[in-house]
Amino acid sequence: MTDALRLAVVGNPVAHSRSPELHALFAQQFGMTLEYDRIECPAGAFVDTVNRLRETGYAGANVTVPYKEEAFAVCDTRTAVADLAQAVNTLHFVDHGVLGDNTDGIGFIRDLTQRCGIEVADRTVVIIGAGGAVRGLMKPLLDQNPAMVVVAGRSPYNAEAIAERFADFGPVQACTYLALKGWQADVLIHASPAGHAGRMPELPKSLLKPAAPCYDLSYGPAHAVFRDWAVARGERPVFDGLGMLVEQGAASFERWSGESPATDAVLQRLKDQLSQSS
């Protein structure tokens, strides 16, 4: 009998996460036995949690908010993608220690451009939020040749650090939410914790161009806050981040298992599960 592949998602909150269902569907494609846990990690306990997972036979873990930058720090080695992002969403426990990767960017771009059909070349892209998830998106997004990427945060510090980090790869500007006045987004990316906090930050009424597509990194009930905010500002396509979850998860699963899962049918299964539970 083959030992089960033991994995987990670590974050706070994680009760909403569909990662266990996602990776179970991936494992079914290859006849693999999988154990996948949700681990809600209190502040200050991330390093101890990672050490416990290593010591008890886990192969790795997905990392979600707010620990992607702490995950970067805990790694012994990192992929080039993770090094550039300075954020890790995938931990792989290997013989020489903890290997960190960041699959957020590839998952985001695959879903944004291929599945949602959003073009960003020569357009102004505004990102609401400046946390670890945004760090993973920046290089793949800039590779699409936007006219400008504006990273907005509640305070200027994280946004400015991201802009400085990625300035060599394309046009990036940082600002606060309040300083977005005067900018108009051809494409809006939402990466703030508003969906879990229950309300959107205060943003300029003129931020969205007519019919500008909007993409939310959140999904499920956490997506509702942003969706309602976006459609209240005019008819437009609004996408949640479930497809990104599936695509970044597929890249993580391949790192742990060596197998590359198909994603379209898995995404539809997760959509069906979410609609039944809502």
**Given 68, 181, 205, 271, the catalytic residue:** 68
DSSP string, 55-95: HTT--EEEE-TT-HHHHHHH-SEE-HHHHHHT--SEEEEET
Is 68 considered catalytic here? yes
Q: Is 7 left (phi over 0), alpha (psi -120 to 50) or beta?
A: beta
CB 61 within 8 Å of CB 70 = no
Distance CA(245)–CA(64), nearest Å, equals 11
Chain centroid offset of residue 36 CA? 19
Report how far residue 120's alpha carbon sits from residue 125's, in angstroms, rounded to the nearest whole number: 7
> Residue 100: which residues within 8 A CB-CB, separation 6 or more?
71, 72, 74, 75, 77, 78, 79, 82, 88, 90, 91, 92
Q: C-alpha angle with apex 152: 148 to 156, nearest 5 degrees?
A: 120
For residues 271 and 220, what is the distance between their CA atoms, to the nearest angstrom?
A: 9
Radius of gyration of the chain (CA): 18
Q: Which residues are identified as catalytic?
A: 68
